[in-house]
Amino acid sequence: MFKFFAGFRKELLLLLRDKAGLIILFIMPMVLIIIMSLLQEVGYSSITRESRMKVLFLDNDKDSLGLRIGKGLRNSNFFEVIDSLNGNRVTEKSIREAVKQGDYLIGIVIPKGITKSIRANVSLMVAQTLSGFGMFNPLLINNIPMKNADTVTVFFDPTIKKSFQTAILSNIKEFNYKIETEMVFQTFNQEMSRIFPNYLPPEHNFKESVYFKEVFPTFKKTEEIPNTAQHNVPSWAVFAMFFIIIPFTNSMMTERQEGSLFRIQSLPVSFMKLLFSKVSVYLVVCILQTILMILTGIYLLPLFNAVPLVLGNHLFALSVVTIVISLAALGYGLLVGTIATTNQQAAAFGAVSIIIMAALGGLFVPMYLMSDKMQLVAGFSPLNWALTGYYTIFIRSGGLMEILPQIFKLSLFFIVSVVITFAFRTIKNPLNK
Amino acid sequence: MSDQPIIKIRDLSKTYKGNDEPAIKSISLDIFCNEIFGLLGPNGAGKTTAISILCGLFPPTQGKVTIDGWDIHSDLDKIKHIIGVVPQDLALYPTLSALENLTFFGNMYGLRGTLLRDRIHDCLKVFGLEKVAKNQITTYSGGMKRRVNLIAGLLHKPKVLFLDEPTVGIDVQSRIVILDYLNEINKLGTTIIYTSHYMEEAENLCSRVAIVDRGNIISLGNPKDLLGDHTEFKNLENIFLHLTGKDLRD
C-alpha cells in the first residue's frame, strides 16, 4: 500500500501543477452546465409550464367558436395570445407576414361567420334526424344542402416540429367538436320543447364525462414535475465524467512518450498498482467534479434565472452511482490509454468515442425521440446507464434499490475494461504486468 | 573486478514484431561482479535493446539471462530490487521538483523516512543540486536534468546499475562529476553496465567493452587489450571505426 500511496501522491502533484488541466477538469463542466441549462430553459419550461409561447390570434367570427378558441388559448398555460401588432389590430395579412419573418411561431385566423355556418349545419342535421320521426317533411328537409365547411387558417413557422403542429391543430379541432356537440344537444332540446310543450330539457348543459389527469410517476409518494436542472445537471455531469478520459489518457501517454515509463517498468512495483494509483487520483477528481456540478445546479443556475437543482433525499444512492460512473469512465480511459500508441490517437479516439456513446446514450437527444432500433442501441451505451441512474435519483426519486441494474452494468463495464487492459498488457509485455 | 559473473547472457536474440532482421543475434556474454562494462556500438546496433532486456522491460525472443543468479523470466521482481536503471531519455516528471521526483522513485524501491531523505540529500550534494532541489525539473539545464536522472537510478544503492548513454548532450563539468561518481560507486561494489558513443570516455571508464554492430558482438575485451590486438590503431575510436565501418547508420 505504501507504494500505492506514493504513486497517488505523485499523480496528485502532477495534476495540481497542471493549471490548464485543472481548468478543463473543473471550470469547463460548470460552464457547460450553465450554458446548456440556459439554452434549454425555454424548451423545458414550456413542458413544465413555466413560460408561454406567443400566438397571434385574429377572431373574425366574434361568436361561439372564435370566442371559445380565444378563451381556451388564454386560459392555457402554454400560450400568450397577441391580437394587435404595433398598436394595430392584427389582420390575416399581418399575421402571415409576422410568421413569415420568424417574429412569431404561430398565427391563428378564425373566419367570419364560422359559428353561424356550424349552427346552420347542426340545425339541418337535427331536422333531418327528426324528420325520420315525422316531425318535419323529409322530402323538403333532405333537399336542403349543407353549407360548405369554413376554414380556420393556422400559420406555422417552418421550424416548428410536426408533433407540435399536430397538437395545435388537434386542440382547435377539439374546440370545434365540443361546440358542434353542444349545438346538437341544444338544438335537439329546443326542437323537442317546441314539438312537445310538456318536455322539460335537462337543467345542465352539455358536460364532459371524461377528464384527463397528468401524472409524473416517481418512486416517492408525492409527484413532482422535473425541471431543467434535473435534466441538465445529470446529463452534463455524466458527459464531463466520461470526458475525463482525455486528461487521464494524456497523463498515461505523456509518461510513455517522455520516457518515464522506461524507468517505471524497471521499478520493483506492479505496473497495474501504479496505474490504479493514477485511477484513484482521477476518481477523486471525478467525484469533486460531480460535487461541483451539483453545487452549480443548486446555487449558480438560479443566479442566471434558471430553476435550481433539487437534490432529493437519496444522497447515499447518489454517492454510490457517482463512484461507479467514475470508475466506469476511468476503466474505459485505462483501456484507451493502454491500447493507443500515441497521445493524438488516444485523444482523438477517446473524444470521438465518448461523443458517439453520449449521442447514442440519449445525452444530446432524448431517447424517446429515437427510433425503436436506436433506442435498442442506446441501451448498450455506458453513458445511457449512467444517465438512467442519475435520472432515477433526480427525476423519479429512486433510491439505491432502483438503480441497482445501472450500478451492476457500470461495475461490469469497469471490470471488463480493467480485465481487457490487463490481458492486453500481459500479451504485449508478459514481464511487466 | 571479481571472477564471479553477476550477469549471464546465453544465446540472447530479439526480433521486434514486423521486423525481419533481429535487433540482437544470439549473444552470449558474462559480466563480472564489480565490473564497469561498456556496450559500444553505432546507432541501431542493439545496445538499448540489450539493456532493455537485461532490465526486464521486454522479453527476449529467445535465450536466457540471469542476474545475480535470478532468471529474468521467473525472478524479475527480485532482480528489480537489485538493479538501477538510468535511461537514455530523461525519465523524470518535468513539473515535479528534483526532490519530489527522487522521493517518488525512492519510495518505489521501498525507501522512506530519514533513510530516503539522507540519501537524497547526499546525492543532491554530490551532484551540486541541493540549492535547486525544490525547483521544478522544467527549470533545469540539460546537465542538471541528466544528474537528477542518474540519481533516480542509484538512490537505492543497486548491486547492478544500467546506464544508457548517461552523459549524452551535457557539458564537460557535468560529465566529469557523473563519471567520477560512477567510479566511486564502482569501487564500493556496484557493477555498472554502460552504453555510450564517447569512445574516449569508455576507454577511461570501462574495465571491459563489447563492440556491438547489427546485433552481434564483434569485439570483446579490456580496452587496453583491444588496443594491443590492433596495434595499427592508436585509440579505441579508431578500432571502433575499423570494426563498424564509416557508413552512416539509422
| Residue B242 CA, distance from chain mean position | 24
CA distances from A34 to A231, A288, B86 (A): 12, 17, 49
pLDDT digits (tens, 9 = 90+) for A62-95: 888 888 888 888 887 778 889 998 888 999 999 9
Residue B1 clears pLDDT 70, i.e. is over it: no
Residue A41 clears pLDDT 70, i.e. is over it: no
Contacts of B70 in chain A (CB under 8 A): none
Give how far A217 is from chain B: nearest CA, Å. 53
Nearest to A432 among B57, B93, B104 (CB): B57
pLDDT digits (tens, 9 = 90+) for B3-34: 788 999 999 888 888 888 888 888 889 999 88
Q: Do B56 and A432 touch (CB under 8 A)?
A: yes
pLDDT digits (tens, 9 = 90+) for A262-319: 788 888 888 888 888 999 999 999 999 999 988 988 888 888 877 788 777 788 999 9
- Burial per residue of A7-39, b for 16 or more beta-carbon CB atoms within 10 angstroms, e otherwise: bbbbbbbbbebbeebeebbeeebbebbbebbee
Residues of B with CB under 8 A from a CB of A: 52, 55-59, 72-73, 76-77, 80-81, 83, 85, 87-96, 100, 103-105, 107-110, 112, 136, 152-153
Q: Rounded CA gap, A387 and A361, in Å? A: 8
Structure confidence at residue B47 (pLDDT): 83
Residue A218 clears pLDDT 70, i.e. is over it: no
Interface test with B, best of A3, A4, A431, A433 (most B CBs within 10 A): A431
Residue carrying the nine cell digits 367570419:
A112
Structure confidence at residue A180 (pLDDT): 82
Going by pLDDT thresholds of 50, 70 and 90, the confidence category of residue A42 is: low
Q: Do B56 and A265 touch (CB under 8 A)?
A: yes
In A, minimum Cα distance to B79 occurs at A268
Q: Rounded CA gap, A239 and A228, in Å? A: 16
pLDDT digits (tens, 9 = 90+) for B192-221: 998 888 888 888 888 888 888 888 888 888
Going by pLDDT thresholds of 50, 70 and 90, the confidence category of residue A138 is: confident
Residue B235 clears pLDDT 80, i.e. is over it: no
Question: Is the ipTM here above 0.90?
Answer: no
**A432 in B contact zone (CB under 8 Å):** yes
Interface test with B, best of A13, A17, A258, A266 (most B CBs within 10 A): A266
DSSP lists the bridge partners of residue B12 as B27
A127-133, long-range: CB < 8 A, 24+ apart: A127/A191, A130/A191, A130/A195
Q: Do A266 and B56 touch (CB under 8 A)?
A: yes
Looking at every residue in chain A, the average pLDDT score rounds to: 83
What letter does residue A307 receive in the DSSP assignment?
A: P
Residue B91 clears pLDDT 70, i.e. is over it: yes
CB distance A398 to A313 below 8 Å: no
Structure confidence at residue A49 (pLDDT): 47
Bigger pLDDT: A330 vs B246: A330
| Residue A318 CA, distance from chain mean position | 21
In A, minimum Cα distance to B101 occurs at A10
Instruction: Give the cell for residue A369.
Output: 425521440
Contacts of B137 in chain A (CB under 8 A): none
Q: Do A10 and B96 touch (CB under 8 A)?
A: yes
Contacts of A15 in chain B (CB under 8 A): none
Q: Rounded CA gap, A235 and A383, in Å? A: 9
**Average pLDDT estimate for B117-131:** 91
Q: Rounded CA gap, A127 and A130, in Å? A: 5
Nearest to A17 among B95, B103, B108 (CB): B95
Which of the residue ranges A331-345, B43-57, B236-250 has the most confident prediction, judged by mean pLDDT?
A: A331-345
Instruction: Give the cell for residue B199.
Output: 569512445
Contacts of B58 in chain A (CB under 8 A): 429, 431-432
Residue A193 clears pLDDT 60, i.e. is over it: yes
Structure confidence at residue A415 (pLDDT): 95
Looking at every residue in chain B, the average pLDDT score rounds to: 86
Structure confidence at residue A162 (pLDDT): 78
Structure confidence at residue A406 (pLDDT): 93
Residue B134 clears pLDDT 90, i.e. is over it: yes
pLDDT digits (tens, 9 = 90+) for A288-301: 999 998 898 888 88
Contacts of A254 in chain B (CB under 8 A): none
pLDDT digits (tens, 9 = 90+) for B162-181: 988 888 878 888 888 888 88
Q: Which residues contact A118 (CB under 8 A, 6 or more apart)?
A: A64, A65, A176, A179, A180, A183
Contacts of A252 in chain B (CB under 8 A): none
Q: Do A10 and B90 touch (CB under 8 A)?
A: no
CB distance A254 to A21 below 8 Å: no
Residue A207 clears pLDDT 70, i.e. is over it: no
pLDDT digits (tens, 9 = 90+) for B95-120: 999 999 999 999 999 899 999 999 99
Nearest to B154 by CA among B231, B61, B85: B85
Give how far A285 is from chain B: nearest CA, Å. 19
| Residue B95 CA, distance from chain mean position | 25
Residue A222 clears pLDDT 80, i.e. is over it: no
CB distance A150 to A117 below 8 Å: yes
Residue B65 clears pLDDT 80, i.e. is over it: yes
Alpha helices in A244-308 (DSSP H): 245-257, 260-266, 271-295
Residue A189 clears pLDDT 60, i.e. is over it: yes
Residue carrying the nine cell digits 576507454:
B203
Q: Which residues contact A191 (CB under 8 A, 6 or more apart)?
A: A126, A127, A130, A135
Nearest to A266 among B57, B73, B107 (CB): B57
Contacts of B103 in chain A (CB under 8 A): 6
Contacts of B139 in chain A (CB under 8 A): none
Q: Rounded CA gap, A316 and A266, in Å? A: 42
pLDDT digits (tens, 9 = 90+) for A407-419: 999 999 999 999 9
Q: Do B136 and A17 touch (CB under 8 A)?
A: yes
What letter does residue B17 receive in the DSSP assignment?
A: T
Q: Rounded CA gap, A363 and A82, in Å? A: 36
Structure confidence at residue A312 (pLDDT): 73
Contacts of B52 in chain A (CB under 8 A): 262
Nearest to A3 among B57, B108, B136 (CB): B108
Structure confidence at residue A280 (pLDDT): 93
Structure confidence at residue A50 (pLDDT): 46
Going by pLDDT thresholds of 50, 70 and 90, the confidence category of residue A115 is: confident
Nearest to B91 among A18, A262, A268 (CB): A262
DSSP lists the bridge partners of residue A82 as A56
Percent pLDDT > 70 in chain A is 91
